[in-house]
Amino acid sequence: MRGPHNILRLIRTGATMERTGAMGLIMEAMEAPPLVRGTMRCLAWPFQWLGYKGDPSMPPAVRALTALGPAYIKFGQILSTRPDLVGAELAQELRVLQDQLPPFSTEIAKRGVAQELGAPVDSLFDEFSEPVAAASIAQVHKARQRDSGAPVAVKVLRPGIERAFRRDIDAFYFAAGMIEFLSPASRRLRPTDVIAHFEGVVLGELDLRLEASSASEFAANTVGDEGFELPEIIWPLSKRRVMTMGWADGVPLGDNAALDAAGHDREALAARVLSLFLRHALRDGYFHADMHQGNLKVAPSGNIIAYDFGIMGHIDEYTRRVYAEILYGFIKRDYRRVAEVHFEAGYVPPDRDVDEFARALRAVGEPIFGMDASRISMGSLLSYLFEVTERFGMETRTELILLQRTMVVVEGVARSLDPQINIWQVAKPVVENYIRDSLGPRAMATHLTKTAMVLSRFGPRLPQMVEAALMRHSMPSPPPPPRRRRRDLVFAGMAGAVGALGLAGLGWLLF
């Protein structure tokens, strides 16, 4: 379904932004160049009558994103954690997208719960409140279990949410394909692969059984983490469209006034949320990938409580080591080592010059280290690093997309609690501990033991595997395919030219 009909959807996106007044507001907040700002508005203005009207009572940006649908709301949630990019005022406006969206009716939610769990709500819960939080995919009700009397949170998917997400993702695929066609230089960024990665994340978020499983695994990994806790999953009351977990009492992490009133140390909380994320990513390779303020609370004990486990990130052990060495190299300002790690991991083509790449990385890192602590930004580092890697032909690493995005979001959360936080100072001990534990002599012995165990499992089969490989190598190569006649090649070329012209026309309409 990724056809030209998606042009209307993408045009309607721009038209909605223009009609609601969000286009100019977001462009101004992000300090877009005047040429880009004027071009975008000129393209969108003639079509604004196609845009969704939205809720006039909402601020322009919130009004536009909620009208466009859940995938766009996700974009707004990310921006809400980045006051350094969009300004404090717009970031505060977008904060409502995290858990304060318009809810659907409680009666619809009750019918959905009864259908999923196979029993009337009144037979399962003594109480079932009106929605206490509503986000892009689901909403949450506070309830009380009939058998235990314990307070619980019941999460229910929005009606029709699967279809809405598929429609948006369909349009995103079309846009990615057009970008790759119209801008060959963009192909190294692999826009289609990025959308495919996003699609996989979202589809996992639409099955609450997977979210319950993720929460259970995350709890097992973090059971010993000081100052961190997770609500318990109630498995008998969790299905594909309904998930029940223990109720988390606490102050929302995004409410600084309430945190101050409760006597919590915001500077300590900022450092902890950042170090927890790095520890989970590096130590476990499994991290909460949606750590905005709407998914975090502070318990009366001072512990950070995380919930909403629909988006979790996973990175393998080798990639964790690469990521840690890159971070550690920047922290130590060892740009030669950072460059070598990029080459060793295959991130940069081997025909490029490592010394030249190291000098380019120095140009990225040194200005950042010369900044005041309040201005040191992981977002800035990634932005500058993007420019450098583009020059050296580095392709987008889809396995790092979620990690990089979450790093930026977590930094935004930490900076909203403590604008003066020094990102490098907080990250340094976590990265150093990981480097010591994963690259030291004990780690080397562990890796060799694992390798020996794998080889021992395949030991009885090694002779047959070697023999099969030798036989394949000795077999004659298949004959080459028959050459196509010149007439066929001419027709194929004409067809390709017509197709290219058609796509170019569609691209002109789109952009």
In 3-state terms, what secondary structure has residue 31?
Answer: coil
Q: Which of 84, 168, 170, 290 is catalytic?
A: 290
Q: Which amino acid is at 220?
A: A
User: Residue 21 region, left (φ>0) first, then alpha (ψ -120 to 50), else beta?
Assistant: left
Residue 482 has a CB neighbour count (10 Å cut-off) of 6
| The three-state (H, E, C) secondary structure of 231-261, written as one string | CCECHHHCCCCEEEEECCCCEECCCHHHHHH
In 3-state terms, what secondary structure has residue 308?
Answer: coil
Closest CA to 102 of 73, 71, 128, 79: 73
Closest CA to 64 of 20, 116, 129: 20
Sheet of 138-145: strands edge to edge? Answer: 125-134, 138-145, 151-157, 242-246
Determine the length of the chain: 511
Catalytic residue list contains 353 = no
Whether the CB-CB separation of 152 and 245 falls below 8 Å is answered with yes
State the DSSP H helix or E strand holding residue 127, giving kind and residue range, or none if neither: strand 125-134
**Which residues belong to the active site?**
290
